[in-house]
Amino acid sequence: MPPARETITAAEEAGEVGGFRGPSGAGSALDHDLMRAVQALSDEYRDQCLWFLRRDYYPSEREEVLRLLAYIERYGDLKASQQRAEIRRWLSQRSSAASASS
């Protein structure tokens, strides 16, 4: 399996990536951690669950992440499902926190 992507793009670093923007538009450490976790999960299950996606594809919007997680749920094993659930909880907590601060 290919190693997890170690770097993020300048747009990601600046917090300018769609669904991962912080409340003020700037990225936060949590955003970067979440993106890295999604990228690592994508790399880990690319051959087993995501063979039909481009090898260089990484989701950048919340909806894309949810779609990727659904693919992993559909085609993955128990370990993949557990990792997917953890990221889904992370996304859920973030959206709940954003709603509460609105």
Indicate whether 88 belongs to any domain: yes
The predicted-structure confidence for 11-35, as pLDDT tens digits, reads as follows 444 444 444 443 334 444 558 888 9
Residue with tokens 């936060």: 28
Q: Specify the number of domains making up the chain.
A: 1
Distances (CA, A) of 63 to 18, 19, 20, 53, 67: 10, 8, 11, 16, 6
Q: Are 75 and 48 in contact (CB under 8 A)?
A: yes
- Backbone φ and ψ for 43, nearest 5 degrees, come out as -65, -40
pLDDT at 14: 42
Indicate whether 93 belongs to any domain: yes
The predicted-structure confidence for 42-69, as pLDDT tens digits, reads as follows 999 999 999 999 999 999 888 899 999 9
Indicate whether 5 belongs to any domain: no
| Per-residue DSSP letter, 61 | S
Indicate whether 69 belongs to any domain: yes
Residue 63: domain span = 10-101
